[in-house]
Copies of this chain bind each other. A is one copy, B any other.
Amino acid sequence: MSAEMLSVEQAREAVLARIARLQPVRVELLESLGCVLACDVVSDIDVSPFDNSAMDGYAVRAADTAGASVEVPVVLRVVDHIAAGRVSSVRVGPGEAARIMTGAPIPAGADSIVMVEQTESLENAGSTGGTVAIHRAAIAGDHVRLAGEDVRVGETVLHAGEVVNAASVGLMAALGFAQLDVYRRPRVAIVSTGDELVGITDIPGPGQIRNSNTYSLAAQVLAAGGEPHLLGIARDNEADTRALLERAPEFDLMVTTGGVSMGDFDVVKDVLEQIGQLDFWKVAMRPGAPQTYGTVGGTPFFGLPGNPTSTMVGFELFVRPAIRKMRGFTTLDRPRTLATLAEDTRKKSDRRYFMRGIVEPVETPPPGAPSYTARLSGRQSSAMLTAMHRANCLISLPEGLSQIPAGTIVECIRLDMEEGTP
């Protein structure tokens, strides 16, 4: 690694140190799914709010059923029939039972439930005034769900900083929260730069290509939980570039591709030096060594290199963790899988390579070997998207090595798995 190059870790730390969590925003309950809670959720009720039956059956006094069996049943008089949602006004006395449905409140006097399967309906047992034969002795508390069993009044059920999952949504609904505060999704402006670019529905003329980077980036922003805003193409002239880049303060984050290398027509760099506070880095990595980071009008700004794969890898390593930090997440790294490299690989030794690869489980790995293998997903030119499209990981090949033989244990960044997955 030459003196003026930053390591991937140095660049990442420098970026993240200057990225802050966004302000909380109040959202509808279902919109909170997958977001980070910005507040504790404290229950003002017991869940469930009252003792209730876990079964369809009969509410009884356990003492009355002592010794009951199929051969020698205990016969009780049915004094009520309690549906879920209804509170019985009847007290179950000695020799009495109440027909009861799952979820219905336990009537006064009763201390246990006998499942309907362990009873026999005698005369009109389902209705008040009938009789029922009990085939099994109950123990006090049988099939009774106590008030507050799941959640107690005053209990902090969800904590600021945790990620809302489907069960949290259910819990919050049970506690009466129709809205709640989460860290919001950043609005991310995307700008592609270059006179060679045409829109995706245009037919490229001689020397032109379609603007694909805006779309791959927008998809990556969506996948990271951000809100992409496609600002279009900045042409290689100062007025055009400035007009788009000056819009940064309308957004939480701006990402550009291209225009920050050593090319004579790269006006982005000139404009940025006028309107923003930027660092232009060479990071010891391939693809994507030139990376720009800073602020424009106070908004964090990422200048990614223009080759399609360099753009996507730069996003993965620097922008995705930044978006997650803005969203309040504390786990900012994709899971890593150790794998045995399946093929000989060459690289320059002065930088880390992030090869596009496919990681797969091995049926029976040799003792001590990882339980995965990793192979390249295609040709590794940074201009080529096909290998990225087939990849489920980035194979991280460290600085200092140039020949990496098959059989080497390598670390794979799992593009197919979310951060925080153990």
Contacts and interface: CB of A to CB of B under 8 A. Distances in A.
A16 interface: no
Interface stretch (A69-77, A83-91, A341-349, A397-405): A83-91
A174 to B, nearest CB: 4
Contacts of A415: 165
Interface string A77-117: 00001011111000000000001011111000000000010
B49 A195 contact: no
A54 interface: yes
A264 B178 CA distance: 32
Nearest to A105: B207
A178 B99 CA distance: 63
A216 B262 contact: no
Interface in A345-386: 359-361, 367, 371-372, 379, 381, 383-386
A361 B200 CA distance: 45
Name the residue among A170, A264, A386, A391 with the largest chain B CB count within 10 angstroms.
A170
B173 A214 contact: yes
Contact of A176 (B54, B177, B200): B200
A258 B392 CA distance: 40
Q: Chain A interface: which size bin?
A: 35 or more
A4 interface: no
B171 A360 contact: no
A376 to B, nearest CB: 15
Interface stretch (A132-140, A143-151, A238-246): A143-151
Interface string A149-162: 11100000110000
A200 B173 contact: yes
B200 A101 contact: no
A279 to B, nearest CB: 20
A50 interface: yes
A171 B216 CA distance: 8
B383 A150 contact: yes
A209 interface: yes
A85 B84 CA distance: 72
B85 A208 contact: yes
Contacts of A422: 359-361, 372, 392, 416
Contact of A383 (B149, B172, B381): B149
Nearest to A218: B30
Nearest to A358: B422
Name the residue among A103, A206, A218, A371 with the largest chain B CB count within 10 angstroms.
A103
A361 B420 CA distance: 12
Nearest to A197: B85
Interface of A: 29-30, 33-34, 45, 47-50, 54, 56, 81, 83-87, 99, 101-105, 116, 126, 145, 149-151, 157-158, 165-178, 194-197, 200-204, 206-216, 218-220, 222-223, 228, 236, 261-265, 306-308, 312, 359-361, 367, 371-372, 379, 381, 383-386, 388-389, 391-392, 415-418, 420-422
Closest 7 CB pairs of A and B: A170-B216, A85-B196, A85-B195, A166-B219, A173-B215, A167-B389, A173-B212
27 contacts: A33-B222, A48-B383, A54-B381, A56-B261, A84-B194, A84-B265, A85-B196, A87-B206, A101-B263, A103-B196, A104-B207, A105-B207, A150-B384, A157-B386, A166-B223, A167-B216, A170-B215, A170-B312, A173-B210, A174-B308, A360-B422, A371-B371, A372-B422, A392-B422, A416-B420, A416-B421, A416-B422
Given A87-B207, A102-B261, A416-B422, 6 more contacts: A34-B223, A101-B263, A102-B306, A103-B196, A173-B215, A367-B367
